[in-house]
Structure formats: C-alpha cells, structure tokens
Amino acid sequence: MKIYRSIVLALIVCILTPATFAKADKLNLNARCAIAIDSNTKMILYEKNADMIVPMASTTKIMTSLVAIKYGNLDKKFTISKKAASIRGSKVGYKAGEEITLRELLYGLMLRSGNDAAICIAEGIAGNTEKFADLMNEYAYKIGAFNSHFQTPHGLDKDLHYCTAYDLAFITSVAKENKVFNDIVSSKDVGSGQYGFTRSYHNINKILYQIPGADGVKTGYTGNAGKCLVSSVKMNGHDVIFVVLNCTPRWKETKRMYEYVKKNYEYKKMVSKGDVVYSGNVLNGGGKVKLLAPSDIYIPCSKNKIYSKKVIVSKDIKSPILNNNMIGRIEIYCDNQCIYKNYLLGSFITK
C-alpha cells in the first residue's frame, strides 16, 4: 500500500454551530478513578484520575477472557487442578478433577467471578498462570494498553498487577468487538441445559438490572483495589464504557456517570458510508480521484461544543490508483482539537 507523507488540508466544514451554549454539568464522582468512553471512537466523555496506575481486582478477568477467546478452543475440556479448586476469594465451586469446557469456564469467570475458573483457563491454555500472564501482557501491549501489567488471571492483589481506568475502558472496548465476549457478559442467567454445562450460572453484576441498555461487563473487589466496576451501556445504539475503580458506592456512581453522559452528549452522524468527501485531479494520466468514507461515522457530541471535519489528502496523488486503496483521511475536531481520525478509500475515475 502506498503511503503519502506530504499532506495538505483539502476541506474544512463546520458541521455543528449552536447559536447558544449551555454550560455542561460538572460531576465529581466518589471514586478514586473513573472514566466514560465511547466504545467505537474511544472518545473520553468523562474522566477522573483516568491515567492513575492502580490495582483493578477481578476486572482483570476482562483481559483473561480476551486472551482465552483468542488462543483457546471453546469446546475443549480443561481439568480443574487442585490449585484452581483451592484458590481463595470468589469461586464457582469447581471440584478438583472435574472436566469443564472453556466456554463454560468463561461463563463461570465472568458471571460468577470465579477465581477457580481463571486458574483453570490459564493452566489449560498456557500451562500455568505465569505463562498466561505473559500472554496477557503481550496482548495488552499489542492493542495499546501500555499502562497495564498483569501478574495473575484473576486479579487478586499483587505488587506488579495494575492498570489505569483508561486502559481498562480501552481493553473493554476491544473485548466488546467480540461476539462471544458480548454474549457472555450480557447474560443474566444461563441454565445448565443451554450449552450442556455442568451447572447453571447467575450474573452477579447488578448494573445489568439497574440501567436500561446495560450489557456488561465485570465487577471486582480486593482489599487494595477496593470495589471496582466496568460497565457497558447501549445508548442510542452505541456502546459507552463506564469504569469506576476504588469506588465503594460503585452502582450509584456508575449510574450518576451514565446520567451525566446521557444529559450532556448526543450521537450525531457526521458521515455516511460511501459518501464522497473529496474529489480532485490526478497529477499524471488524467482523470480524477474521489475519496469515500469507509463506514458511517457517529460522534458523541457535547451539547455545548462546536464540531468540524477536515479531509487530509496528498498534494501529489498520481495514477495508477486502485479502487478502495486507503488514500487520505478524515478528521473530526471539537473546538479545534482533533478527537477522531479515520482513513478514506480512493476511487479512480477516468476522463
């Protein structure tokens, strides 16, 4: 793929210019760290100490699930070891010697916060928890969660087991792209007969029952981390991720953050998939190039901000140009600060 390094501003369009500005509400959550982000664009809608490195307890299991889904066979059976069966903290109650499919273990992990499920998954995929933690760190680095480090698959307190609220929200947004993960964390109850499981599972995540549109994700608690909660809520068809860490009233404060976002933001469609956002001449060979949006672009817009879009293209686009090559990009700005970028697809038209 050819990369054009020399760029020029091709188009600036104001797309939201409210005549009057309503001052956004202020929100001070009773949490050490908190954040709300749009799952698709990763735009931050609210944050408090979002870059502070802190322990995250069983919300760790979001990454455990991601790694398990990536490397494991959901229908393969793993044997519960004595180490898994005897782990302290929250457990499903698996007995040593039981054989459980990875799919069932993931339900036990995420709905019941089973530390026994976490160890069995780690041992079944990587041989032991230490090697599984290496996979977790490798995956975190690969997706861009650079301020996180994992030592265990369950999240019990360890000196070098930590993350930030932003990283945790970002990891969750990646997990939400996976249908298997979504199906698990959005389930309230799963009967043993549904997938041929050894037992039934009830989701202990109260947020599923307290906020309309809530579809996950994970609770957590340890002495060092305090009470933690990562939530996902469908708002106008879009996932918003909410994280509170070291937050005793975690249900209440998550609902306050949800109400804040609901009151102060609304989703607006900036561009539709296939829209021609730029048209220009090709330097040699004649003809024109059109740049098309690769997908619908929705932005959560603050009700007291001004938004604009820019199209960035090369100064010297030359033929031949293959249709659907990534050429140029579109940028969305909020009060002159870039908040979103995406590539554009080239379409060559002869004279």
Q: What percent of the chain lies above the pLDDT cut of 90? A: 78
Of 43-52, 195-204, 330-339, where does mean pLDDT reach its minimum?
A: 330-339
Q: Please answer whether residues 216 and 185 qualify as being in contact, where contact means their C-beta atoms are separated by less than 8 angstroms.
A: yes
341 is catalytic: no
Each residue's pLDDT tens digit, 286-319: 677 788 999 999 999 997 888 999 998 876 666 6
272 is catalytic: no
Other CB atoms within 10 A of residue 273 CB: 11
Each residue's pLDDT tens digit, 16-74: 323 222 334 589 999 999 999 999 999 999 999 999 999 999 999 999 999 999 999 99
Write the DSSP string, 165-211: HHHHHHHHHHHTT-HHHHHHHT-SEE-TTTTT-SS-EE---THHHHS
39 is catalytic: no
In the predicted model, what is the mean pLDDT of residues 72-98? 98
Q: What is the pTM of this model?
A: 0.89
Label residue 3 exposed, middle or buried (CB < 10 Å: 0-12, 13-18, 19+).
Answer: exposed
C-alpha distances out from residue 44 to 86, 159, 241, 266, 269, Å: 40, 28, 10, 14, 18
Q: Which residues are annotated as a binding site for substrate?
A: 218
Q: Which is the catalytic residue, given 65, 90, 113, 231?
A: 113
Q: Fold for 54-211, please state it.
A: Beta-lactamase (3.40.710)
Q: Please answer whether residues 301 and 324 qualify as being in contact, where contact means their C-beta atoms are separated by less than 8 angstroms.
A: no
Q: Which is the catalytic residue, given 61, 91, 255, 309?
A: 61
Closest CA to 79 of 36, 37, 121: 121
Where are the domains positioned within the chain? 7-19+269-349, 54-211
7-19+269-349: CATH, from 3.30.420.10, 2.60.410.10, 3.40.920.10, 2.40.110.10: 2.60.410.10
Closest CA to 109 of 201, 182, 183, 194: 201
